[in-house]
Amino acid sequence: MSETSTLIGYGGRTIGREELTLVPTPPATETHRPIPHQEIVQALVETLGFHHIGVVHDEYAVSPDGMKVFGVLDLETEMEGCRFSIGLRNSHDKSMRLAMTCGYRVFVCSNMAFAGDFTPVLAKHSKSFSLIDCVSVGVDRMQRNFEPMRKQVEAWQKSELTNVTAKVVIYEAFVEGKLEAPKHLARLVHDLYFEPKYEEFRPRTIWSLSNAFTSAFKDLEPIPQFKATAKLGEFLEARFSQSF
């Protein structure tokens, strides 16, 4: 199974769902009603359950003062070689809105990097804010977008590449600079594609090439990794758009 979610916490530390219950929530004001981090996660998990979507893995990162939380949830709505994930962030100090993003490439970092293939929720904790309504609408939007994302992944999994084409794409990405990523990764992407570590990426396809890129990006620091991952889908779609 490919790794579709990445969470980078404060000092690299992440926690489980149970530990979120220990994070204190500040009192509400006339204009701002903080919602416990655990309550948001619980509402999301329950709403996913109503849609018959299970969570197979989740982890979170909380700021030292407890005011901010970031998290990723990997879902059981999987297909061969891919799994959808949700990225989540929330704050008690108004520094950022409640937000969720989803996709088969989700990147969440405590330095505010936050990226996925589709972002269905971006909401303030106003006095009239309804958590259940917000999460329900968000999950419904996510589920509606699973099918287009699934079709893209399946199209990439079925699209075979010649060795020459794969090498040209890697050349264009790094030597010609068409992808915002460090040039020294070219050799690593090449090796991961032509000598894959996992059986599901042995077929010579666009999907296997995409995974070679994302696997290589994991060697980068958070900000460069975020930038490269965010630009990859756009680069490959532009390169192969005429194939579909």
Over residues 59-73, the pLDDT tens digits come to 999 999 999 999 999
pLDDT tens digits along 166-216: 999 999 999 999 998 999 999 999 999 999 988 888 999 999 999 999 899
Range list of H helices, 162-205:
163-174, 186-194
> Quick one: pLDDT band at residue 124, thresholds 50, 70, 90?
low
**C-beta atoms surrounding 17 within 10 Å:** 17
Output the pLDDT for position 244: 46
What residues does each domain of the chain span?
5-150, 159-237
pLDDT at 2: 42
What pLDDT score was predicted for residue 222? 76
Q: Token pair of 177, please?
A: 């600079």
Tell me which DSSP letter residue 17 carries: T
- The residue among 8 and 121 whose pLDDT is bigger is 8
Give the pairing type, strands 114-115 and 55-62: unpaired
Give the pLDDT confidence score for residue 9 in this predicted structure.
82
Backbone angles phi, psi at 207, to 5 degrees: -65, -40
Q: What is the pLDDT of residue 39?
A: 93
Lowest pLDDT segment from 38-42, 86-90, 110-114, 177-181: 110-114
| DSSP states of 83-144 | EEEEEEEEESSSSS-EEEEEESSEEEETTS-EE-SEEEEEE---TT--HHHHHHHHHHHHHH
